[in-house]
Chain A
Amino acid sequence: MDKPSQHATSMIDPTLLARVVQGDQQAFSQLYDHSSTLLFTLAVRILGNHDEAAELLQDVYLEVWRKVSRYDVGRGTPVAWLVTLTKSRAIDRLRARAARGYRATSSLEAGTAAQVADPGPNPLETQADQELRIAIGAAVAGLPQAQQQAIELAYYEGLSHAEIAVRLNQPLGTVKTRIKLGMSKLRDGLQQWWTHGELQ
């Protein structure tokens, strides 16, 4: 990673992607520096394994390099595009692995709450990224444990509400309500933070 501290992950300039489309290798290098930590963190969270996450990132960046011309700025920020792509590919890999009967390290055992509760300052992060990360972490940590768990099972493990209900041995309606309420609180909390600079 070259000088990542100079770039905020949440503020990747769409023109950087436009330069990547032109085959600009320096731009691609900058894109990696902006996003690789966030995407690697996401991949490790989903796959529970650093080596596999590294493999996944190889695939993802290759796909980004090849398909960058498909990125449409009108459809979202570059970061959102990269996060969504990485999450989709990671869950594909997770499902393929489940089909082979391989049981990964339990995500639940990884202790997401602990990760959120102790974000810790990262010397390579910009201040903007750090503050946003803290705000979102706080919003997630502020959710009741049951709601947080249901959302994370869906988001990081790619489980449907029915699968979550089975996993947690809870009624389907309860699981749906937990996810709905949790997402609703996250939305309201972050909007409040964007509007007033503080969480509810």
Chain B
Amino acid sequence: MTHEELQESVPLYAAGALDRSERQALEAHLLSGCVSCHAALKDYQSIAALLPLALSPITPPHSLKATIMADRNPAPLPAEAASNESARQSLEPGEWMNHLFPPVAPARSSSLPWALGFATLLIMAVGGYFTWSVSTERSVTTSNIQQLEASLKETSTKFANLQREVGDQTQSLAALRNELQQRTDETAETKERLVQREAELEEMRVQLSQRGNTRTVETPQDELATLLRVPNAKTVSLTGSDMAKQAAGFLLYDSRTQKVWLYSINLPESPAGTTYQLWAIHDKPVSIGTFSIDTGKAAHLLVKKVPSFVDAKAFAVSLEPSGGRPQPTGPIYLLSQS
């Protein structure tokens, strides 16, 4: 049904001329809150309730009141019990009463009692309307309060959840801060350890360096190897004389360290009471040092320190009496070629 059709059915409803389905449709429409149909129904039903007054009054039998007064139950039923009764076929009075109000209009009459009567009726109607209105507003307010309460409850729950989340995050933050502090401590510790290690390393490097120097001094082989890499070292080879044709020698001279190295091979054994003596020859031979060759030994290395013989032109090895001689006296065994 359209709204227009529903609106047109209002006077028919008040007269009681609608069938059941039409009546239910209009009641549903009124319950949905249509203000204009509600107002119209109020007007029409106030008229409908007065229609029996148009009938000629018929007085009920006198015995009726006594019968009715005798028939009553001891007391009226409470509202709860009454409301539980089964539904009737036709419209319940309560449903009709929803919209039963006389039109709101000032009473005016030539006679005072008449005016008073209608004024009272009007006051009752207006009072009734206000009671109904306040009751409706109260139910609306109650509904609003319930909605607000529900909303408040929901918000409180959300707030509690948020608080819990914030609490969790604060805990996580504290844990992270502790971890960071721990890492910082560890880093500082590591740095200290690193400095200590660097110090140890430096010390070890110094020790190593010192140890290296000591070894250079102590080990002739290492020194020879070093000497061979020195560019200004003088190299002289010596060959065996007629006394020892198979003998040969190799001489190194380092002016930086002022050391002479003589490596000889295949020199015959030096007989007892004699010794080999190395000579540097410039203008006259200058003794550098003596050495002996034991039995069965083919090679020998002699290292001697000499003050200066930069200008030496040749080198020679002679066999001299033990202890050596200031000048060569015995036969020459090795002689430099240049």
Contact = CB atoms under 8 A, between A and B. Distances in A.
Contact of B105 (A45, A61, A80, A195): A195
A194 B105 CA distance: 6
Contacts of A179: 11-12, 15, 17
Given A38-B57, A77-B100, A194-B105, A161 B18 contact: yes
Contacts of B57: 37-38, 41, 122, 125, 133
Interface string A6-45: 0011110010000011010100110010001110111011
Nearest to A95: B89
Nearest to B124: A77
B1 interface: no
B114 A127 contact: yes
A42 B53 CA distance: 9
Interface stretch (B26-34, B78-86, B228-236, B283-291): B78-86
B44 A187 contact: yes
Contact of A1 (B49, B62, B82, B88): B62
B117 interface: yes
Given A195-B106, A196-B108, A36 B132 contact: no
Q: Interface SS of chain B: helix, strand, loop or mixed?
A: helix
Given A77-B125, A131-B114, A184 B77 contact: no
A81 B93 CA distance: 6
B226 interface: no
Contacts of B98: 75
A112 B59 contact: no
Given A28-B72, A136-B54, A176 B12 contact: yes
A75 B132 contact: yes
B68 A58 contact: yes
Contact of B49 (A14, A70, A84, A164): A84
A183 interface: yes
Given A8-B117, A154-B15, A186 B97 contact: no
Interface in B117-144: 117-118, 120-121, 124-125, 127-129, 131-132, 135
Interface in B156-191: none
Contact of A83 (B43, B49, B58, B85): B49
Given A84-B100, A136-B53, A155-B48, A70 B58 contact: no
A155 B59 contact: no
B91 interface: yes
A111 B289 CA distance: 178
B53 A92 contact: no
B64 A36 contact: yes
B160 to A, nearest CB: 42
8 closest A-B pairs (Cβ-Cβ)? A76-B100, A75-B97, A128-B117, A74-B132, A154-B17, A183-B11, A40-B60, A80-B49
6 contacts: A1-B65, A28-B69, A87-B16, A92-B89, A150-B17, A179-B11
